[in-house]
Chain A
Amino acid sequence: MKTIKDIYENIGLPRLIIGVFFIFLVVVSIVLGFSPAALFSDVVRRWLMYGTLVLAMVPGIQSGIGLNFGVSLGISAGLLGSVFAMEISFLRNWNEVLGAGAPWLTLLLALLFGIIMAAILGTLYGLLLNRVKGSEMTVSTYVGFSVIAFMNIVWLSLAFKNGELSWPLQGQGLRNTASLSGSFGGLLSNPDVVQSTQPAWLQWLAFKIGDFTLPLGLILVFALLCFSVWLFFRSKLGIAMSGAGENQLFTTSSGIDVDRKRIQGTAISTVLGAIGIILYAQTYGFLQLYNAPLMMGFASVASILIGGASVRRAKISHVLIGTLLFQGILVTALPVVNEVIEIGTLPEVLRIIISNGIILYALSKTKGGNQ
């Protein structure tokens, strides 16, 4: 009896409800006659699409800044890196000069730009968060909003030559959604793109097994990122960082500079946010500018909390489980709902209720304890 109770306590009520709901949706959709292979391809695709953004929450939580709603900062850096890389690729005419290598170089350049900018911004952001200890979440939410609003002005003022990015006939301002089909869109995950643009020895990046699409390239990249973060938190630096997040007084007394660790944690979180949005755009096939990333921070926070993380502790397993459950529900709910009651907006409503409900639940758990 005791073990069952232990397992229950380990899983926690919200995760149990959401997990059961997910399994229920999967069963219903298979009963309704949807192809399981196509369904799971979609689930895997969405899982990997959001995975890195959710992974970005781990360093933030571990270093003690809590749920990093300000990941929008990293997202903005990643988007900025992508548009710069695409513009350079267009100006240098890489597509004709380099052929199949062009999207790779664009992707790498986007990552490079994104990471550098995110590292700088993340450090500054960490400095700010050290001055507002105790209210990081409120401040970071609004810093995130402000950054997105500020970037709106930037997107509108950039004058790029690349027709994929800028509005035609205006000379100023970028599109709301820029297609990546001529660039690095689907390079790691879309079998059609891989087949048509990449040489034979790279065909393994994404292929189909029957109806099931296996984006092996993306899986490898995401696994590599997860593994690096996992490894990092086993290194000396990572352990010190977790210590800083866990118990400030103790860590200070053992000679670790807590503030420094928090800055590093924030910077890593921001960098992962930048990588995350580039991988997201790569999988999605479109670059979403303007207000599209406004609530992405909330979705990431909700995902890791569903995975079982708390405001103080997070693990890679929380990222994997949480993203799978959250995105899985959203993917499977849509066809099921359409079949049963024909209300297309219901999954969106579900998303809002689940994501904010779980954040609220996690907040009440942590703050309820220390009244």
Chain B
Amino acid sequence: MSQKTDFFKKAGSFLFDNKVMIAFAAICLAAIVLSGSPMTFIVDGVFTRITRNTFTVLALIIPVLAGLGLNFGIVIGAIAAQIAVFCVVYWGLGGFGGMLLSVLIATPLAVLFGYLVGKLFNRMKGAEMIAGLILGYFADGLYQLLFLVIIGGVIPVNNPKLIISGGVGVKNTIDLTGNLKYAIDSVRMVDIVTVVFYVVLAVTLIKVILHLLKKYQLNKGDFIFFGIVGLLFGISYIPVVEKFLSTDRLILLDALTAVLIVLAILQLIKIVRSIWIDKEPLKTLVKPIVTLLVYGLIYALTFIPEIEEVLSYVKLPVLPFLLIAGLCWFNQKILSTRLGQNMRTVGQSQSVAMASGIDVDKTRVIAMIISTVLASWGQLIFLQNIGTFSTYGAHTQIAQFAIAALLVGGASVQKATNKQAIIGVILFHTLFIVAPEAGKQLFDNAQIGEYFRVFVSYGVIALSLAMHAWTQFKKEVQPPTGGADLEIPALPAVTVKQQTLK
């Protein structure tokens, strides 16, 4: 009986904690049904948009962690990326090398911008979000000044493809076809495997040298890791595998199968470990075995013709997804470092952080720098995937959409995770794809659906900011446990009274 109520309680709190996400999922589902678009179209569109946007959304997580709220300032990171892209296109470079050069130009710019933004935010503590929003517009103005007036007007630039016919100012759109388009997407898997192998080889060699110099203790893990990577590298020379790996796109069905196999192997290792090494009671095996069965079930589902059709229609570019996975890993790992812990403390209470000797201002600036750099890389991924660089429009909505997506996933001003970011991107962009068609079916006007999704993206931000401010305000009015802020000034008064009584 008690277990039952416990379950209901859990389910209830799950529903309550995820209310935004669940409500949004319901809207998405309704819109999908209404639109009547084929699933292949929707899933393909969603995955394209995941490729483009997830990296930028993930760039928002660290500032939330450090208590800076939702970083509307990522626009500035995007601007850094766009300056780099312009330079690279102007110099006539392209391909993966051109992309690397863009990264090399964009990163120091983003570090500088992030540093300045961080400094500014330190002057406006408590108003970071509104400041970030205005700063985004301000930076947009400076960007327009640079691209419309200074390029061509002050710096002589001669390139009829890029410059408005009068000779001053950059054209509205820059075509990236033939230079940077798909520069990241079209990297072949076999190249990725090769590069990873040589990097791991180099790292292991350095470790061995350090070991011989007695500055580093090699352990078993290092060799096992190297062994696995080496094995994979060896496998990639088997002709069948090599042929499979020499493409740059992965069919979703294959990707899903591969992910399921890897996850299943991990679970199997867990089971083997708990039986033969840790010798735990059999009861603990229930969970991994159930998980394995679920994986099996998911794989079985892929044999349903409809699902199989969708899964084998969608093709994923490999490297962007690896980069996204890498950023998820980074966001997770930074929590266990010293810096991450400091950020967390600063995010929870600046006074506590200050008291425990953390340089609050510096930590906040670092968080801003990381976020701005990540946002600039995210913009590079976005631009190379979309293939046309809209000079004056590509960056203006980026903060708006990224933040709305993150909030839709169930994040708040104070808490955001990788999972919420990814779920948010999927839900938000599903609505983006199906809303026009759903509007057409429902109101006989596709434009209404389009306006509806804009309304939703503004509305969800307004709602979650209001809800956050509301709870903050309640906390301030009725301090839950004593209320440190109110009690501190009261203390001296009491002591004075006691002294006079004595």
Residues of chain A having any CB pair with chain B under 8 Å? 128, 131-135, 137-139, 141-143, 145-146, 148-150, 152-153, 156-157, 172-173, 298, 341-343, 345-346, 348-349, 352-353, 356-357, 359-360, 363-364, 367-368, 371
Contacts and interface: CB of A to CB of B under 8 A. Distances in A.
A363 B131 contact: yes
Interface in B441-468: 443, 445, 447-448, 451-452, 454-455, 457-459, 461-462, 465-466, 468
A364 B124 CA distance: 6
A128 B466 contact: yes
23 contacts: A131-B469, A131-B473, A137-B127, A142-B465, A146-B459, A150-B459, A153-B451, A153-B455, A173-B447, A341-B153, A345-B144, A349-B148, A352-B140, A353-B141, A353-B145, A356-B137, A357-B138, A359-B134, A360-B120, A360-B131, A360-B138, A364-B124, A367-B126
A138 B141 contact: no
Interface string B469-486: 110110010000000000
A363 B461 CA distance: 21
Given A142-B465, A343-B168, A149 B459 contact: yes
Contacts, number: 138
A346 B445 contact: no
Contact of A343 (B133, B169, B457, B470): B169
A139 B448 CA distance: 25
A341 B134 CA distance: 29
A353 B146 CA distance: 12
Contacts of B459: 146, 149-150
Interface string B107-148: 000000000000010011111011101110110111011001
Interface of B: 120, 123-127, 129-131, 133-135, 137-138, 140-142, 144-145, 148-149, 153, 166, 168-169, 443, 445, 447-448, 451-452, 454-455, 457-459, 461-462, 465-466, 468-470, 472-473, 476
Contacts of B120: 360, 364
A353 B445 contact: no
A142 B461 contact: yes
B445 A367 contact: no
A352 B451 CA distance: 25
Given A156-B445, A360-B131, A360-B135, A367 B124 contact: yes
A60 to B, nearest CB: 15
A152 B168 CA distance: 35
A310 to B, nearest CB: 14
Contacts of A353: 138, 141-142, 145
**Interface of A, helix, strand, loop or mixed by DSSP:** helix
A143 B169 CA distance: 35
A145 B456 CA distance: 11
Contacts of B452: 153
B469 A135 contact: yes
A237 B149 CA distance: 51
Nearest to A142: B462
Given A132-B465, A138-B133, A360-B131, 15 more contacts: A134-B472, A138-B469, A142-B461, A142-B462, A143-B466, A149-B457, A153-B455, A172-B445, A173-B445, A173-B447, A352-B137, A359-B134, A360-B134, A363-B134, A368-B124
Nearest to A341: B153
A99 B154 CA distance: 57
Contact of A363 (B127, B148, B470): B127
Given A134-B472, A134-B476, A353-B142, A346 B148 contact: yes
Given A139-B465, A343-B169, A156 B447 contact: yes
Nearest to B464: A142
Contacts of A341: 149, 153, 168
Given A142-B458, A352-B140, A134 B124 contact: no
| CB-based closest 10 A-B pairs | A352-B141, A132-B469, A142-B462, A353-B141, A356-B138, A135-B469, A149-B455, A145-B458, A152-B451, A146-B458
B148 A343 contact: yes
A139 B135 contact: no
Contacts of B447: 156, 173
Contacts of A137: 127, 130
A142 B72 CA distance: 12
Given A142-B461, A359-B134, A368-B124, A131 B470 contact: yes
